[in-house]
Structure 1
Amino acid sequence: MIRRSLSLFVGVSAFLSLAPALAKAAPPASPTLDRLYEKVSCERAGQSFSGADLRQRLILQAGLPMTGALLQAIETRSLGQLAASSNEPALAALLTSTISILANPEGGEARFTLTGQTAPDTRARAIAFLNGETDGISLTCKAPSPPLPAPPAVIVPAKEPAAKRRGLILADSKNDFIKPPRERGFATLGFEEDKAADTRLLNASLALAMEPILFAKPSEATELRWTPFVQYNRRAARSGREEVNDLTLGNSFIFRNPKQAGGAIGFGSLAFQTDDAAKAAVWVGDALIDFPRVRPCTRRDALGWAMRCNLSIVVDYADVQDPGDSQKLAELDTYFRGGMNLGLSAEQNFGFGVITISSSYNGRYDISSRKASGGIFSVGAGLRPSAGSNISLETRYTRGTTINTLVDVDKITLRLGYRL
């Protein structure tokens, strides 16, 4: 018994970029700007760079020590704030150079023309530029640059390459595949108690996939990746009543274009949904679009808590060939639904470990028959050894109707999680 899923895509996740570029000394020139142009990689006259290219070049050529704080600042688009508040000489020099470049695009012997918005506060503008707000800024070379010295060796923390060498992603659901590693949900195994007094023996939730593989690159900025995956959700009850048993096999697709408005990321999947006894057969397809840059919040600090939130718009379709043991699916032949995924989390390091508080709501509204509508609300608290740890212990309360099997749940769960 089988299940299919149509996949859509859209998307973009913009990668942060920056580069140093100025001119030979323009009178009167500050000593910190002396011969700054020699650090700019300019291969030929007339060569043009976008603001994102400039940002990337500046970061690469600044000789920054590759620390966890720097990697997190780049990932969360807060490099400007880090440079403004840090005592690290390389970061301070990076901000000074950026201020000078944006404030003095043309000088006596300048070899570049910098166009873009003007702002009275050049420091604030430079901070925003380092954060990734590069729209409207471009650079055109007037002459080639002298050869660059060999760049300093950059040491990247071992855990990031190690994760890629494994070639696998282990997370809570297939929707986690588009998230950065530290934002993915944990695959979990736990025990739960139903609010209606049924003791649940087992609760398992996981999605396993290959690292996204490049499928096509239509342009220099646009790429499409595909990911074969398996997703499994199981809730076994002593009574056998209100069980969840969902095994999904399929392919997902991730579409990115960093120049698209809002930094949109498109995600879609085409899959076959059954159960671990192969009694059901449902073909499913879904499409999701996420806008990382226009979320209600990206990453903010409040009273020492690091906040994250997300908002995704989803549509899905299913062709029910065999409902298996699901009474609700037995009432359906097909359905077409629209909905959203909402999430909010906060974490803080207390020395003994990182405490995380999170809540989420995933809802689907059946546009065709109204019989397949469902929604799940969940709130929980967890403990991890460190902010980047792949292990978590969590307690969670969940209530609603499961998205795929349409089973009503009202439960409290204690679970152990792991992710790759």
Structure 2
Amino acid sequence: MIRRLLPLLVGLSAPLCLVPALAQAATPAPTTLERLYDKVACEAAGQSFSGVDLRQRLIGQAGLTMNGELLSAIESRSLGQFAAHSSDPAVTALLTATMAVLSTPAPSEARFTLASQTAPDARARAIAFLNGDTDGISLACIATSPPPPPTPAVVVPAKGPAPHRRGLILADSKNDFIKPPRERGFATLGFEEDKAADTRLLNASLALAIEPILFAKPSEATELRWTPFVQYNRRAARSGREEVNDLTLGNSFIFRNPKQAGGAIGFGSMAFQTDDAAKAAVWVGDALIDFPRVRPCTRRDALGWAMRCNLSIVVDYADVQDPGDSQKLAELDAYFRGGMNLGLSAEQDFGFGVITISSSYNGRYDITSRKASGGIFSVGAGLRPSAGSNISLETRYTRGTTINTLVDVDKITLRLGYRL
């Protein structure tokens, strides 16, 4: 018996001599495949082991306590059954390690290949292998490629909201600031014929402002915005009579609450009114309220024409410090007025362009002295390249008393318009 065990003991002596004395209390071998492959210890790429060599390496590196019972199991070629029923953690770990080593590893984890094995069950295959049934099993170490260099991390900046570039609004008057872009009036430059007086050479009307800036947000539905603006109206005449020269600098405030009845929009402004020669000096303030959802018509269609209308209630106040060239303002120290702005328009696309027909009336009634009452009516037709175009060619008839300078007009104008 000793003679039969001598070759095995000699084969095991080399690995066993490296195990310290504390190996008798060794903990179970780890079962993760990565560390089990390390225990097989392929010293070089292309190295191969027969089944016998592989079995010897696994037994020799398991940290087993070589007692009579274990030696008897090895001699009788029943080490597999012994390990399957043993309560020794080291022996149990040997069976677990053998099962893992003999299983076909995943390609991403493989460091070796195994030849075909007879027993289909992993546990049965490991028991047979430890018993000594090593025929048809071999291990060949795969040449491991050096790890690829780490891929440089590509830092993709978080995609935040695109910065909003604050733009400008260019329209006909400051009251257009509360309207959607496609409904704003056009800033215009034109030539006119006055039916009541001399031929007029120049007519200019514009309001320029920074896009409304958020001033306060009292609730989720309510917001208050403000914007500085400049408004200019100029009407030059050869005779100098009945000119319109109004330059207004100020701040406007826009209040919105879509959840209120009618989707209330409030507009107010505080401004200094003069002329382009800085002769006049009038402090003005006004307030306007509009309810877009209760307008008589809102984007209705009639015979192919898209209809729009608006109705706004307005109050304004002025303190006249210097009337300038305005004779009517010279008769006033201050005024407080109430009134309304009415508008109706229709447009239709005819292929060659969009035809627009519009009319408006702005009226003010002086509550204090009645000297500052006035109103102006206009009707016109225009042509635009497309519905969303910012360019317009228009002819318009206007009659009445201008709102700010209180000048009487009765004119036909051909004008070119542009808006932002």
State the TM-score bracket (shorter-chain normalisation): 0.5 to 0.7
- The equivalent residue for 2:334 is 334
Amino acid at match of 2:208: L
**In the aligned structure 2, how far is the partner of 1:282 from the partner of 1:412?**
29
Cα distance, 1:341 vs structure 2:
0.2
Cα distance, 1:326 vs structure 2:
0.2
Amino acid at match of 1:349: D
- The equivalent residue for 2:205 is 205
Which sits farther off after the overlay, 311-320 or 197-206? 197-206
- The equivalent residue for 1:391 is 391
**In the aligned structure 1, how far is the partner of 2:415 from the partner of 2:198?**
18
**In the aligned structure 1, how far is the partner of 2:223 from the partner of 2:291?**
17
Note the alpha carbon deviations across 1:200-243, whole angstroms, 9 max, x for none.
01000000000000001111211100010000000000110000
**In the aligned structure 1, how far is the partner of 2:186 from the partner of 2:362?**
17
For 1:58-73, list aligned pairs within 5 A: none
Runs of 4+ in 1 over 6 A off after TM superposition: none
For 1:16-415, list aligned pairs within 5 A: 165=165, 167-415=167-415
Amino acid at match of 1:353: G
**In the aligned structure 1, how far is the partner of 2:285 from the partner of 2:382?**
32
Note the alpha carbon deviations across 1:352-406, whole angstroms, 9 max, x for none.
0000000000000000000000000000000000000000000000000000000
What are structure 1's unaligned runs of at least 5 residues?
A: 1-160
Higher relative contact order (CA 8 A, sep 6+): 1
**In the aligned structure 1, how far is the partner of 2:221 from the partner of 2:306?**
31
Amino acid at match of 1:390: N
- The equivalent residue for 1:139 is none
Cα distance, 1:165 vs structure 2:
3.6
Amino acid at match of 2:335: Y
SS in 2 for 1:296: coil
Amino acid at match of 1:196: A
Amino acid at match of 2:292: P
What are structure 2's unaligned runs of at least 5 residues?
A: 1-161
Relative to the length of structure 2, the TM-score reads 0.61
**In the aligned structure 2, how far is the partner of 1:196 from the partner of 1:374?**
18
Amino acid at match of 1:410: D
**In the aligned structure 2, how far is the partner of 1:389 from the partner of 1:305?**
17
**In the aligned structure 1, how far is the partner of 2:222 from the partner of 2:418?**
32
Cα distance, 1:169 vs structure 2:
0.2
Cα distance, 1:166 vs structure 2:
5.5
**In the aligned structure 2, how far is the partner of 1:307 from the partner of 1:216?**
34
- The equivalent residue for 1:66 is none
Note the alpha carbon deviations across 1:81-116, whole angstroms, 9 max, x for none.
xxxxxxxxxxxxxxxxxxxxxxxxxxxxxxxxxxxx
**In the aligned structure 2, how far is the partner of 1:393 from the partner of 1:411?**
17
Relative to the length of structure 1, the TM-score reads 0.61
SS in 1 for 2:364: strand
Amino acid at match of 2:411: K
Amino acid at match of 1:192: E
**In the aligned structure 2, how far is the partner of 1:184 from the partner of 1:342?**
14
**In the aligned structure 2, how far is the partner of 1:397 from the partner of 1:235?**
15
Note the alpha carbon deviations across 1:279-314, whole angstroms, 9 max, x for none.
000000000000000001111101110000000000
Cα distance, 1:257 vs structure 2:
1.2
**In the aligned structure 2, how far is the partner of 1:415 from the partner of 1:341?**
22
SS in 1 for 2:262: helix
- The equivalent residue for 1:54 is none
Cα distance, 1:197 vs structure 2:
4.2
- The equivalent residue for 2:32 is none
SS in 2 for 1:330: helix
Amino acid at match of 1:270: M
Cα distance, 1:251 vs structure 2:
0.2
Note the alpha carbon deviations across 1:10-39, whole angstroms, 9 max, x for none.
xxxxxxxxxxxxxxxxxxxxxxxxxxxxxx
SS in 2 for 1:232: strand
- The equivalent residue for 1:68 is none
- The equivalent residue for 2:64 is none
Aligned length: 259
**In the aligned structure 2, how far is the partner of 1:172 from the partner of 1:181?**
12
SS in 2 for 1:403: coil
Contact 2:280 2:324 in 1 (8 A): yes
SS in 1 for 2:241: coil
**In the aligned structure 2, how far is the partner of 1:294 from the partner of 1:418?**
29
- The equivalent residue for 1:50 is none
SS in 2 for 1:228: strand
**In the aligned structure 2, how far is the partner of 1:224 from the partner of 1:197?**
45
**In the aligned structure 2, how far is the partner of 1:262 from the partner of 1:297?**
13
**In the aligned structure 2, how far is the partner of 1:166 from the partner of 1:382?**
30
Note the alpha carbon deviations across 1:108-137, whole angstroms, 9 max, x for none.
xxxxxxxxxxxxxxxxxxxxxxxxxxxxxx
**In the aligned structure 2, how far is the partner of 1:377 from the partner of 1:317?**
21
RMSD: 1.2
Cα distance, 1:252 vs structure 2:
0.2
**In the aligned structure 1, how far is the partner of 2:315 from the partner of 2:297?**
23
Amino acid at match of 1:249: L
**In the aligned structure 2, how far is the partner of 1:329 from the partner of 1:197?**
21
- Greater Rg, structure 1 or structure 2? 2
Contact 2:166 2:210 in 1 (8 A): no
